[in-house]
Amino acid sequence: MSRCWINTVSREHVLWGVEGGYTQADHGKNTRLRRLEPGDTLAFYSPRTQMRGGEPLQEFTALATVTGDEVFQVEMTPEFHPWRLAVDFHTVAPAPIKPLLPRLSFITDQQRWGYPFRRGLFEISADDMAVIREALTGVAVTQG
């Protein structure tokens, strides 16, 4: 059975992933990325436009389905060799998170709603993913 995930990534890095058909997590580490399997759904939350600084964004910026069987490593610089996983991105429009907060079960404290995203990559329920998918695509998904 496929699972649902959120990956907290700056919009700039999401766009690089869309262009290359991959996702990264945890600053290039492979630990949690290895938990994803083909068919899993991955929503991308972007707190900012860029990783180091940038403008505040607080939007879901992409939606993808995992297609890769295994993580793979690339060399970006001689010192940085991040791990990636192949994904297929869907056509979506960015969706602000604040209107969704009351409908997301993993947000247990409305005052400190950003706390769960500090984990980077984390699993969520299918119901929560349906809320996010509807916001990104404009199409309601019924759970059955």
Q: Taking 80 as the threshold, does the pLDDT of residue 62 lie above it? A: yes
- Give the count of beta carbons closer than 10 Å to the beta carbon of residue 31: 11
What pTM value is reported for the model? Answer: 0.93
The pLDDT assigned to 60 comes to: 98
Computed over every residue of the chain, the mean pLDDT equals: 92
Q: Which of helix, strand or coil describes residue 49?
A: coil
What is the set of domains in the chain, with CATH numbers?
4-137 (3.10.590.10)
**Distance separating alpha carbons of residues 121 and 85, to the nearest angstrom:** 13
141: confidence class by pLDDT, cuts 50, 70, 90: low
| Half-sphere CA count of 120, side-chain side, radius 13 A | 12
The pLDDT assigned to 142 comes to: 61
pLDDT tens by residue, 5-20: 999 999 999 999 999 9
Distance spanning both ends of the chain, measured CA to CA:
14
- Candidates 53, 50, 22; CA nearest to 36 is 22
pLDDT tens by residue, 108-138: 999 999 999 998 999 999 999 999 999 999 9
The pLDDT assigned to 26 comes to: 75
